[in-house]
Chain A
Amino acid sequence: MNLRPPRLAALALLLLLPLVAGAAPKQLTLLFTGDNGGEIAPCG
């Protein structure tokens, strides 16, 4: 049995899936410091 055409079709489907489904939401984390005021050794 020749599996080549179904394999190619599956590959094409896999490649196209993200375009059909849309990209997943992007997530990121921003970490902020500020007003440190010269502190180098916070004691709790």
Chain B
Amino acid sequence: MTIEKERAKGVPVLVLDAGNALFKSRDSGEAPDAKARAELLLSQMDAQGTAAMAVGTRDLVLGVDLLKKGTKKAKLKLLSVNLVDAQGKPYFPGSMVADVGGVKVGVVGVSPATTGPEPAAPSVKGKPTPMLKGLPVEPAVAAEVKRLRAQEKVDVVVVLAAVPYDDALRVAERVEGVDFVVQSHEGRGQGMAQRGAMATVIPPGDRGRQLAKLELRLDGPGRFVDVSEQERMRQSLGIVESNLAKAKERLAAATDPTTKQSLEQAVSSLEARRTALKKGVDGGATHSARTHLLSYIQLGSDVPGDPAVQKLVERVEPPGSAAH
């Protein structure tokens, strides 16, 4: 319902999931409701119009097949640019392109790198267990982004990084052509947009408690500038200018040489700070061709649920059960 509200505002919307959606932990596959829960989540994400999801460690608990079967007839695309089978063949597509109100958005999914082959399904007695391998994150993402930029001519690149935070930071620092890296793995929750040398890292929230909302404005090429960073800078400039005026007043009234000297130093330091902030404000978001603004929509108990979905949930998790 919250997503529908956003869509009704008239600005084109793309819904994406950064991964690690389906299971609580790597060893939670034994729980009697684990499979039903994962299947319900996949079907509901599709019903809500989630376009793509990266495959994370906590999505693979009951194997690759569950994910493939669960999305066979779905519009929801599961993405992983680096998850391959024993022969090196990819299990999932690495990326997709969505046209969002005339903007071509390239979406890349990436999974954690593994040190060696790992089971791609729970072992079944008498049957060989299929294996999977997570190739190194950075080169896999770099190659796919290069392809999207050169061949698909995308306007924006989003990497759904279901990988440890440090790996996501490395992508944002080093991989050219990426605009945003949306990270999931440790359940870090909501946070601030973090600017790297190449891209900005976006925390997507966790446990269905919020929706991260990233508003983009494109008026030409170039790097996205954080509107909220500009706003913070503008507020700081106001404070510095007010302090500077007070310091100058006190300096004009001062007669004691020591006080005068100290106030002169303060004025000089405030003037330097004002110059730096002005430079940032003047060259910032208002003059940028591309801006972004991150906020969160909280999905607390005050947000009404969909009765039809609630019925499906209660089949898996009856009211009053320990899980609820």
State the majority secondary structure of interface residues on A.
loop
Separation of A28 and B183 alpha carbons in the complex (Å): 20
A16-44 to B contact mask, C-beta < 8 Å, 1/0: 00000000011111111111111111111
Query: In the complex the two chains form, is B209's CB within 8 Å of A42's CB?
Result: yes
User: Number of residues in B with C-beta < 8 Å to the partner?
Assistant: 69
List the B side residues contacting A25 at CB < 8 Å. 217-219
* Contact indicator A28/B14 (Cβ below 8 Å): yes
- B218 & A26 in contact (Cβ 8 Å cutoff): yes
Q: For residue B20, which residue of chain A has the nearest CB? A: A35
Bound together, the chains give a CA A32 to CA B20 distance in angstroms of 13
Interface size class of chain A, counting residues whose CB lies under 8 Å from the partner chain: 20 to 34
> Is the beta-carbon distance between B21 and A27 smaller than 8 angstroms?
no
Chain B positions 265-317 with a Cβ under 8 Å from a chain A Cβ: 299-302, 313, 316-317
Q: Is B103 on the interface with A (CB-CB < 8 A)?
A: yes
- CB 8 Å contact bits of B1-43 with A (1 = contact, 0 = none): 0010010010111111111111111001000001001101100
A36, B25: Cα distance in complex, Å:
11
A-B contact pairs, 29 of them (CB 8 A): A25-B219, A26-B102, A26-B219, A27-B11, A27-B218, A29-B216, A30-B16, A30-B214, A31-B3, A32-B211, A32-B213, A33-B15, A33-B212, A34-B18, A34-B162, A34-B182, A36-B17, A37-B24, A38-B24, A38-B34, A38-B37, A39-B208, A40-B316, A41-B313, A41-B317, A41-B324, A42-B207, A43-B324, A44-B301
Residues of A at under 8 Å CB distance from B? 25-44
